[in-house]
Structure 1
Amino acid sequence: MHLEDLLSWHPVFLALLATLFTWGVTAVGASCVFFFKEINKKALNLMLGFAAGVMIAASFWSLLAPSIALEEERGGISWLPAVIGFLFGGAFLFAMDKFLPHVHLSKSTEEAEGIKTSWHRSVLLVLSITLHNIPEGLAVGVAFGALLQNPSMEVLTTAIALAMGIGLQNFPEGAAVSIPLRREGFSRWKAFKYGQLSGMVEPIAGVLGALLVLYVAPVLPYALSFAAGAMIFVVVEELIPESQNGDETDLSTVGTMLGFALMMFLDVALG
């Protein structure tokens, strides 16, 4: 089957397949728990920095730039949907961050954010990763949903590049959940189950994003920039601070640079 053949497939179905792939990579990352009980702090900082770099690059190359170009083609004010959507995306994640109970990897249960709860630290850890998987799944879904308005190879390859980039950065996220759970006394299988569970929200968000574009076509530029704003919020709020924990902060910076460069390469070379 040639890549062009995918243009005949329904964009919502393509969004589902793509986000099932990103969920699958989360599960592969979570499977590291079967081989390791500890995760080296230097390696974790490098991987989290890499994930941050991928998300920053994807936010511009795969989401904001297409949003601006699309509005220009429509004859509208090119920057308006990008600015409005971006800020609303950040505001949405800010509200979720304040509402959804979760705890960051380097924090104790007493430092959990969101509504106060007596939930176990394991649940709060999974919810923390789940929180950033929502905009990731939404971004992939909206990118494939754009095929409904412009069924071209350029749009298709951009969406595929985005899914590949999000998938790559999901690997360390899966490991970052399952291995700490193993260290806290969970069995390997149970730690893996919780780790991959954090990625389950991506297919749901992906399909919803594609359906949104399907039924409300004019919202596409806003939806693209909304996903970008939500992802940048996650990067600044969690990924970069987490990657800078400890003494080896240079590694997290290197990881960010590598992640950004790889995502930029994927988007430009494929899209």
Structure 2
Amino acid sequence: MTEVFWGSVLSALSTGAGALIILFIQQSITHRWKDVLLAFSAGIMMSASTVGLIPEALKTGGFGPLFVGVCLGVWALTLMEKNIPHIDLQHNKKGIQFDEKALLIISAITLHNIPEGLSVGVSYASEQGDTGNLIALAIGFQNAPEGLLVALFLLNQRISKLKAFIIATLTGAIEIITSLLGYFLTTYVQGLVPYGLSFAAGAMLFIIYKELIPESHGDGNERVSTYAFILGLLVMVYIIDIFS
């Protein structure tokens, strides 16, 4: 219980770690660097899902639960995307006032963190103890550039650096709650672990292909983003190899 709590806290607070950068920079980072960070995060999450979550789900439940869980994860993210407005923070060059629309954007970003928290929680419920740490690390890598991008967006809306940092950090806090929820569900409902792991993998794959990869290719930086994706994938494979 202690491990899953601190794992979820560190993963969630990685959003704030990324946002912390805005307190020390004098101007916004380039689209090129934003795309590189997103692509690197996508590579990290791809390794975590395909090398970490999916093999563990197959080991604990077989192909049936894996298929059902992945489909449920994709379905859940599809429903969320249809009902939660998606705002392109990286490529929106027109400023807007910090009004109802900006609040809607912050709410949407917060809600999109729900499946990431669930991914961490169900991973800690696995019999393979290192799986939870690996997924928490992968989600943390993804949260850091996301926190930076949210903070930069708020900064462009004439919000102070400190307030932008605090708000961006809070958008990731919901992951702590959903992580604990995912852990308790898969721990106390017998046979749910492989479904939970597969659900997390499906949700992560959806985020990678639908969100991170397209976002990282939005400003003509396809080649460098591809390199960053491959580097992120290899870094996470190396980390998994060390833990296993």
Distance, in Å, in 1 between the alignment partners of 2:119 and 2:79 is 18
1:214 deviates by 1.8
Q: Return the match for 1:51 from 41, 49, 67.
A: 41
Instruction: Determine the C-alpha separation between the residues in 2 that align with 1:65 and 1:105.
Output: 34
Deviation track 1:238-261 (CA, whole Å, cap 9, x = no partner) reads: 111110011222121111111111
Q: How many residues align?
A: 239
TM-score after normalising by structure 2: 0.91
Larger Rg: 1
Partner of 1:75: none
Structure 1 residue 268 corresponds to structure 2 residue 234: no
Which residue in 2 is equivalent to 1:114? none
User: Whole-Å Cα distance in 2 between the matches of residues 236 and 138 of structure 1?
Assistant: 19
Query: Cα deviations across residues 12-35 of structure 1 (Å, max 9, x unaligned)?
Result: x32121010012221111111112
Following superposition, the deviation at residue 131 of structure 1 comes to 4.1
Cα RMSD (Å): 1.9
Is 1:21 matched up with 2:10?
yes
Match runs of 1:1-271 below 5 Å:
10=1, 13-36=2-25, 37-71=27-61, 78-106=62-90, 119-121=100-102, 123-146=103-126, 150=127, 155-271=128-244
Task: Return closer, same or farther for 1:128/1:252 CA change in 2, 3 Å cut-off.
Answer: farther
- CA offset at residue 128 of structure 1? 4.3
Write the distance in 2 (CA, Å) between the matches of 1:139 and 1:240.
Answer: 20
Distance 2:224 2:111 in 1: 25
Letter in 1 for 2:23: F
Q: Which residue of 2 aligns with 1:6?
A: none
Deviation readout 1:201-225 (Å, 9 max, x if unpaired): 1111110110111221211111100
Q: Which amino acid aligns with 1:213?
A: T
Unaligned runs of 5+ in 2: none
Give the structure-1-normalised TM-score: 0.82
Q: In the TM superposition, what is the alpha-carbon distance from 1:81 to its structure 2 partner?
A: 0.7
Change (3 A) 1:43 1:128: farther
Name the CA shift for 1:231/1:201 in 2 (closer, same or farther; >3 Å): same
SS of equivalent to 1:61: helix
Distance 2:216 2:111 in 1: 17
The alpha carbon displacement at 1:109 in A equals 11
Q: Which amino acid aligns with 1:231?
A: M
Secondary structure of the structure 2 residue equivalent to 1:218:
coil
Q: 2:84, 2:173 → 1: CA distance?
A: 17
Find the aligned partners of 1:168 and 1:208 in 2 and give their Cα distance. 22
Distance 1:52 1:124 in 2: 25
Distance 1:167 1:106, change over 3 A: closer
| Aligned counterparts of 1:57 and 1:131: Cα–Cα separation in 2 | 24
Shift, 1:132, TM fit: 3.9
Distance 2:29 2:123 in 1: 33
Is the 1:157–1:270 contact (alpha carbons within 8 Å) kept by the matching residues of 2?
A: yes
CA contact (8 A) 1:102 1:127 kept: no
Structure 2 counterpart SS, 1:120: helix
Judge conservation of contact 2:87–2:105 (CA < 8 Å) in 1.
yes
Deviates more, 1:100-109 or 1:190-199: 100-109
Q: Give me the whole-angstrom Cα distance separating, in 2, the residues matched to 1:129 and 1:256.
A: 22
SS at 2:125 equivalent: helix
